[in-house]
């Protein structure tokens, strides 16, 4: 039976969901970005999350951040929408771009909690009032976390336009997965997709290249990745990659199709102890190049799913 409890986490609250029999489950802090702290499967936490409230606020490496209203990078922090120019803070000094949308903490609130014999769920909502000069468009975003016995997990992001004019939208998530102490011997299987060409500022050039490096399962080894990939349309509407080590397999999938997670950023951090798998509904700099950009008219919604399964031999 899944149960839940709420405990203090510094000035915040963390919501803990766990299976009383197996201790599988997850922890999330809704009021500070709906941030996922832990995801425990088979006795192992496979999310590299923040361990203390201070770490959460410092937000190093944007662990498990919800990325709104755009994921990844925005060239020089500026974009034009319906003839007006807007600016996001440049927070990536290395490239001179804005990174990961809003940098302010997004105060989500729980709106639905469910636990039963086989699953646990928390849905959290954030309401943007349109007073932010970088993105003066009111909207509501819902993030729905679900854990299913024995070891499956899903995240659904939904956003809807609360204003009176059309708005540009991009959604993403920034989790880091850790299934081994080092990436050296972690085997990656990545179906054929397109490598997004970028310039020295990590902004797309408009070119794409076939990427087959991990088409056959291969150890990540010393491979360095901080790249965006455009995903092909899948017959079942899902793109799936796999990470394997020591008899354990982590299958990670994301919805593809119109308005779904059609792009993927992969990142190997310098610590080489975890692997970021970041689903995105649009390309890098989509507010400027419109590649995958979602446009929501008043009252319209967009939603996309991301999930995983973990199992051992």
What's the pLDDT at 218? Answer: 97
Distance, in Å, from the CA atom of 202 to the CA atom of 72, rounded to the nearest integer, reads 10
Planar angle of CA 230, 231, 236, nearest 5 degrees? 165
pLDDT digits 0-9 by tens, 66-90: 999 999 999 999 999 999 999 999 9
Tell me the pLDDT tens digit for each residue of 155-181: 999 999 999 999 999 999 999 999 999
pLDDT, average across residues 192-198: 97
DSSP the chain: -EEEEEEEETTEEEEEEEETTT--EEEEETTTTSEEEEEEETTEE-B----SHHHHHHTGGGTTEEEBS--SEEGGGEEEETTEEEE----BTTTTBEESB--SPP--EEEEEEE-SSEEEEEEEEEE-S--TTS---EEEEEEEEEETTTEEEEEEEEEE-SSS-EEE--EEE-EE-SSS-STT-EEE--SEEEEEE-TTS-EEEEEEEE-TTSS-EE-TT---EEEEEPPPPTTSEEEEEEEETTEEEEEEEE-STTS--EEEEE--TT-S-EEEEEESS-TTHHHH-TT-EEE-TT-EEEEEEEEEEEE-
**Tokens representing 216?**
């056959």
CA distance 51 to 53: 7
How much is the pLDDT for 233? Answer: 87
Please tell me the number of Cα atoms within 13 Å of 124 on its side-chain side.
22
Check residue 43 and give its pLDDT.
87
Q: Which fold has domain 2-312?
A: Beta-galactosidase; Chain A, domain 5 (2.70.98)
Q: What is the pTM of this model?
A: 0.97
Alpha-carbon Rg for the chain, nearest whole angstrom, is 19
Q: What is the tens place of the pLDDT at every residue in 109-152?
A: 999 999 999 999 999 999 999 999 999 999 999 999 999 999 99
Phi, psi (degrees; rounded to nearest 5) at 77:
75, 15
The tens digit of pLDDT for each residue in 230-282 reads 999 888 999 999 999 988 999 999 999 999 999 999 999 999 999 999 999 99
Dig out the tokens for 303 from the structure: 């939603």
* DSSP string for residues in 224-289: --EEEEEPPPPTTSEEEEEEEETTEEEEEEEE-STTS--EEEEE--TT-S-EEEEEESS-TTHHHH
């Amino acid at each position: 039976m899944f149960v839940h409890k709420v405990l203090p986490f510094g000035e915040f609250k963390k919501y803990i969901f766990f299976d009383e029999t197996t201790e599988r489950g997850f922890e999330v802090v809704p009021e500070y970005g709906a941030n996922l702290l832990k995801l425990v499967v088979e006795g192992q936490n496979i999310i590299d999350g923040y361990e203390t409230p201070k770490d959460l606020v410092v937000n190093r490496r944007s662990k498990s951040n919800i990325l709104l209203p755009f994921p990844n990078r925005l060239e020089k922090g500026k974009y034009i929408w319906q003839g007006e120019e807007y600016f996001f803070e440049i927070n990536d000094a290395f490239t001179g771009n804005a990174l990961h949308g809003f940098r302010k903490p997004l105060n989500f609130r729980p709106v639905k909690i469910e636990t039963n014999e086989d699953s646990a769920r928390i849905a959290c909502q954030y309401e943007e009032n349109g007073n932010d000069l970088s993105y003066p468009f009111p909207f509501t975003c819902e993030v729905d976390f679900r854990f299913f016995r024995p070891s499956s997990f899903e995240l659904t992001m939904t956003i809807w336009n609360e204003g009176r004019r059309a708005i540009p939208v991009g959604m993403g998530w920034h989790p880091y997965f850790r299934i081994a102490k080092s990436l050296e011997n972690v085997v990656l299987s990545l179906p054929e997709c397109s490598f997004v060409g970028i310039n020295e500022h990590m902004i797309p050039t408009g070119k794409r290249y076939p990427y087959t490096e991990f088409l056959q399962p291969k150890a990540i080894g010393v491979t360095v990745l901080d790249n965006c990939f455009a995903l092909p349309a899948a017959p079942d509407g899902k793109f799936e990659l796999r990470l394997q080590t020591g008899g354990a397999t982590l299958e990670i999938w994301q919805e593809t199709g119109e308005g779904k997670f059609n792009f993927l950023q992969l990142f190997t951090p310098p610590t080489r102890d975890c692997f970021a798998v970041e689903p995105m509904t649009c390309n890098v700099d989509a507010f400027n190049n419109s590649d995958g950009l979602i446009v929501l008219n008043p009252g319209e919604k967009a939603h996309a799913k991301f999930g995983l399964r973990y199992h051992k031999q």
